[in-house]
Amino acid sequence: MSEPKEDRDFFIGWEPKMPPLLKRRVRLYVFALLALSIGVGAIMAMLQKNFGISRYAWTDLRPVEGVFRADPYPHLSVHIPNTNQCQNFMLVDEFKESWPEAVVRRHDGRFVRLQVGTIYRGDVAMFEGNPDQSIEVLDTPVHFPEMPDLESLGRQTLVGEIVDSKCYYGAMNPGKLKTHRACAIACIQGGIPPVLLVRQNGRAPLYFFLTDLEGQPVNERVLPYVAEPVEITGEVESQCGLLLLKIDPARIQRIHDA
């Protein structure tokens, strides 16, 4: 005598096999949930805002030659081929630090060859290298252009966000806003140059490296304002592709309704 249908489809945990009808239902639910999960994940990925085009080529070391500069932050002035112009690139250590002061002062003004990786976002870039291994002092070539004087672009009031240049340029992505605040503070404390990121509707953003009124680093003094919308007034200067903003850190203003 055969078992009633309701008995055949009743699940018993210690039975070696699941009843056929129950097995079909469970299989249908599993495949439906799997398809739903994949679909939701794909839709969320397509709706995700683009973080920006950046790259952190920290393993792709290459030699770069130029004049080492110490102020306001360690940077390298590189000759642009077939021109009488130079381009400045900020220099950072392999970690959340700037180059040691002793190394920076010892090589200030010298023509050097560095082994560096490149960090870049869009058309802006900086170099990362190990200061104990990457510096080779060379004779200055005759063709190398002289460093032009700082060009004043006047006193300006700018609205933006203070970010650490290494992460925002490409070491991390997105490298901005409050989700990145703790990391940005650690980098700026370690000597990474702080930047005022000024976004422009429909145009490429502007990057202003911050200094005090005497042109010296302001790292510790801007920490309370990192990753927040701020308004800053100061003297803007330009030199070989870098924009500097001389400020009084005590006069930085938060924008609470941004």
Is 129 within a domain? yes
Is 26 within a domain? no
In the chain, the number of structural domains is: 2
Give yes or no for residue 245 having a pLDDT over 90. yes
Distance CA 70, CA 76 (A): 9
Is 212 within a domain? yes
Average pLDDT of the chain, as a whole number: 84
**pLDDT tens, position by position, 177-220:** 677 788 989 999 999 999 999 988 888 889 999 999 999 999 99
Q: Report residue 157 as tokens.
A: 């009031």
Is 47 within a domain? no
Distances (CA, A) of 140 to 20, 76, 136: 83, 14, 12
If you compute the radius of gyration of the chain from its CA atoms, what whole number of angstroms results? 28
Together in a domain, 158 and 249: yes
Together in a domain, 132 and 157: no
Together in a domain, 101 and 188: no
Helix (H) or strand (E) holding 56: strand 54-69
Residue that terminates a domain, selected from 137, 159, 190:
137
- CATH number of domain containing 171: 2.40.50
Is 29 within a domain? no
Distance CA 243, CA 111 (A): 23
Beta bridge partners, 67, equal: 77, 111
What integer pLDDT is reported at residue 2 of this predicted model?
53
Is 228 within a domain? yes
- Considering only residues 237 and 171, tell me which one the structure prediction assigns the higher pLDDT: 237
Percent of the chain with pLDDT over 70: 86
Together in a domain, 179 and 226: yes
Nearest Cα to Cα of residue 160 among 129, 201, 198, 195: 198
Structural domain boundaries, residue 209: 151-254
- Residue 83 half-sphere exposure, CB side, CA atoms within 13 Å? 8
Q: Report residue 237 as tokens.
A: 């200067």
Residue that terminates a domain, selected from 137, 162, 196:
137
Distance CA 175, CA 169 (A): 8
Q: Report residue 227 as tokens.
A: 């990753």
Stated pTM of the model: 0.76
What integer pLDDT is reported at residue 73 of this predicted model?
93
Together in a domain, 117 and 164: no
In sequence order, what are the residues at sequence separation of 6 or more whose Cβ sits closer than 8 angstroms to the Cβ of residue 79?
Answer: 65, 66, 85, 86, 143, 144, 145
Give yes or no for residue 13 having a pLDDT over 80. no
Q: Report residue 256 as tokens.
A: 């609470």
What integer pLDDT is reported at residue 30 of this predicted model?
87
- Residue 171 half-sphere exposure, CB side, CA atoms within 13 Å? 22
Is 48 within a domain? no
Residue that terminates a domain, selected from 137, 162, 181:
137
Distance CA 69, CA 3 (A): 90
- φ, ψ dihedrals at 47, nearest 5°: -85, -10
What integer pLDDT is reported at residue 7 of this predicted model?
53
Is 37 within a domain? no
Together in a domain, 129 and 98: yes
Q: Are 90 and 126 in contact (CB under 8 A)?
A: yes
- Considering only residues 228 and 18, tell me which one the structure prediction assigns the higher pLDDT: 228
- Residue 252 half-sphere exposure, CB side, CA atoms within 13 Å? 23
82 residue type, one letter:
N
